[in-house]
Amino acid sequence: MIRCLPGLCLVFCMAAYPAPEPDFHIPFEKYKLTNGLRVVLSRDTSVPVAAVYLLYDVGARTEEKGAAGFAHLCERLMFDGSANVKKGEYARYVQSNGGEVNASTHLDYTDYYEVLPSNKLALALWLESDRMRGLAVTEESLKNQKEAIRNERQRNYENQAYRAALADKWPSLIFGNPHNERSVMGSPDDLSAATVEDVTKFFRTSYAPNNAVLVISGDFAVADTKKLIEQYFGDIPAQPQPPRPALNEPARNEGRTLDVKDEHARLPAVVVGWPAPRRHSPDWYALDMLDAVLTAGRGSKLQAELMQGRQSVLQIDENLGWPSASPADFKDPGYYAAILIHKTNFKAAEIVDQYQQVIDGIAATGIDGTELRRVKVVLRLGKATGLQTALERARLLGTLELMDGDPGLADRDYAAFQAVTAEQVQAAVRKYLTAARRDVMTITPAPASPAPVAHGAVQ
């Protein structure tokens, strides 16, 4: 059947029939202000909603020495007040007008968004422009956010099973470049030493219009919206482009191993991974398809062979970019990795061998054409469903513009992904996912550390 969805058209068919060429298109217009702000507009009038999505080309991997964690710190400070908006008012402005607002820090960028009724688009643009031109960084706000990040790290990483190992140990194992080893949470020492002057300098260059991409998706009048963008953003001055660290990795042909003890883990786990091919290359699409074959749906290969067959693995999570990113939202160099949480009566080495046997089986005999068609149908429906919202279309167009300079890759990536053949997947597995190139981190439950005894307490 043919379904027309907001902002795109997609031909969909059942797996029992040969798959037609997918017809997938997200319309957009792209231009740039004189101060360097890149703008992407994608109009769709099916729902009276507009999404404003603003990305800054700064993330954990782009921070300079001594500033690890500043991107995440600035993300939090962006809600602490600006030239004309007091602390706590930002979210109230949006929510009281029927909208939603949020932000997040990634390895390679930081993003902010508002989704509002179409007639409130000007409000979102004013709010974003106000904090771009005049973020209020004070001693009080900096102190409060430093403490908030310390609590966040303790709550979400240090006190959670597997999370600290994945954030702090795994990147150091798989990468050799210090910039690629960083986590979004940054360095506690760098954050503790940060001054108002340090953060203000970082913000001035990283949060300048010439280091940003503004995307508007949904129901809006193009001409009127362009006037609003010029009105609110046009006079914000450009800044010197921030330095870009080299992210290239030294070549290596042998994998590495690491054993980690985790007092919060109740079950053992292994993390297995390989350096990935470059973005948008044929092998990149092939490994993305491999992940779908291995994990998508109840009949997926890993579930059938390891969870139901050998009954050794309890939970699996994997993809290109895992655990810090999805396939679409990280720059090169990338990584293909998986975590397998397993039963205690299996040793870590057994789980690694079982996982590698599944991979080696695909390298030897390939994947079944029927299975590949099933997965493509599942993914086609998921893609169509996911991109029905203005925000998700804005996310896709914005990340592609920021990282690749080409929102049109939204269409071409989808077509290339759907065109992947079983032979391409088999060839990519043989080339990249060999046991010799494999990195492995084992996570073993450990007894909890004894609580510190208060001075003077009776023993």
Percent of the chain with pLDDT over 90: 78
pLDDT for 11 beyond 60: no
Structure tokens at 266: 């109740």
- Taking a C-beta distance cutoff of 8 angstroms, is the pair 381, 455 a contact? no
pLDDT for 20 beyond 50: no
Class of the CATH domain delimited by 26-233:
alpha beta
Q: Judge whether 355 and 269 are in contact, CB under 8 Å.
A: no
Residue 327's pLDDT is what?
Answer: 84
Q: Report how far apart, in Å, the C-alpha atoms of 218 and of each of 7, 46, 223, 227 are.
A: 8, 8, 14, 17
- Cβ–Cβ under 8 Å, residues 370 and 302: no
Between strands 212-218 and 38-43, the pairing is parallel
* CATH 3.30.830.10 domain span(s) along the chain: 26-233, 257-445
Q: Is the pLDDT of residue 5 over 90?
A: no
Per cent of the chain over pLDDT 70 is: 93
| pLDDT surpasses 90 at 91 | yes
* Residue pLDDT, tens place only, 394-446: 999 999 999 999 999 999 999 999 999 999 999 999 999 999 999 999 999 99
CA distance 347 to 331: 35
The pLDDT mean for the chain works out to: 90
The distance in angstroms from the start CA to the end CA of the chain is 74
Higher pLDDT, 40 or 388: 40
Whether residue 127 is predicted with pLDDT greater than 70 in this model: the reply is yes
* pTM flag (> 0.85): yes
| Fold designation for 257-445 | Cytochrome Bc1 Complex; Chain A, domain 1 (3.30.830)
pLDDT value for 21: 46
pLDDT for res 451: 58
Beta bridge partners of 443: 260, 269
Provide the pLDDT for residue 50. Answer: 98
Q: How far apart are CA 342 and CA 349, in angstroms?
A: 11
416: left (phi over 0), alpha (psi -120 to 50) or beta: alpha
pLDDT tens digits along 241-255: 998 899 999 888 899
pLDDT in tens, 445-457: 998 766 555 555 4
Under a CB-based contact definition with an 8 Å cutoff, are residues 142 and 196 in contact? yes
Report whether pLDDT(3) > 50: no
- Give the residue, 268 or 325, on which the prediction is more confident: 268
**Nearest Cα residue to 332 out of 369, 296, 278, 372:** 278
Residue 1 has which token pair? 């059947």
- The predicted structure's pLDDT at residue 306: 95
Q: How far is CA 46 from CA 38, 124, 357, 394, in A?
A: 25, 20, 48, 15
User: Following DSSP, what letter does each residue of 113-161 receive, concatenated?
Assistant: EEEEEGGGHHHHHHHHHHHHH-B---HHHHHHHHHHHHHHHIIIIITST
Q: What is the pLDDT, as a whole number, of residue 9?
A: 37
The mean pLDDT of 227-235, rounded to a whole number, is: 98
337 has which bridge partners?
A: 273, 319
Mean pLDDT of all residues in 303-332 = 91
Q: How much is the average pLDDT of 322-333?
A: 86
Strands in 276-330 per DSSP E = 313-320
pLDDT at 325: 83
**Cβ distance 389 to 218 under 8 Å?**
no
**CA 405, CA 409: separation in Å to the nearest integer?**
9
Which pLDDT does position 452 carry in this prediction?
A: 56
Please give the Cα distance from 340 to 323 (Å, whole number): 12
Residue 300 pLDDT grade (very low, low, confident, very high; cuts 50, 70, 90): confident
Rounded Cα distance, 56 and 73, in Å: 14
Provide the 8-state DSSP code for 62: G
Indicate whether 191 pLDDT > 90: yes
Cβ atoms 265, 162 nearer than 8 A: yes
Whole-angstrom Cα distance, residue 318 to residue 253?
Answer: 22
The whole-angstrom separation of Cα 453 and Cα 451 is 6
Q: What is the mean pLDDT of residues 186-208?
A: 95
Section 334-361 average pLDDT? 97
Q: According to the model, what pLDDT value does residue 459 have?
A: 42
In this structure, are strands 49-56 and 212-218 parallel, antiparallel, or unpaired? antiparallel
Do 430 and 260 touch, CB atoms closer than 8 A? no
pLDDT above 50 for 85: yes
Q: What is the DSSP string of 206-247?
A: HTSGGGEEEEEEES--HHHHHHHHHHHHTTSPP-PPPP----
Beta strands at 335-342 and 29-32: parallel, antiparallel or unpaired: unpaired
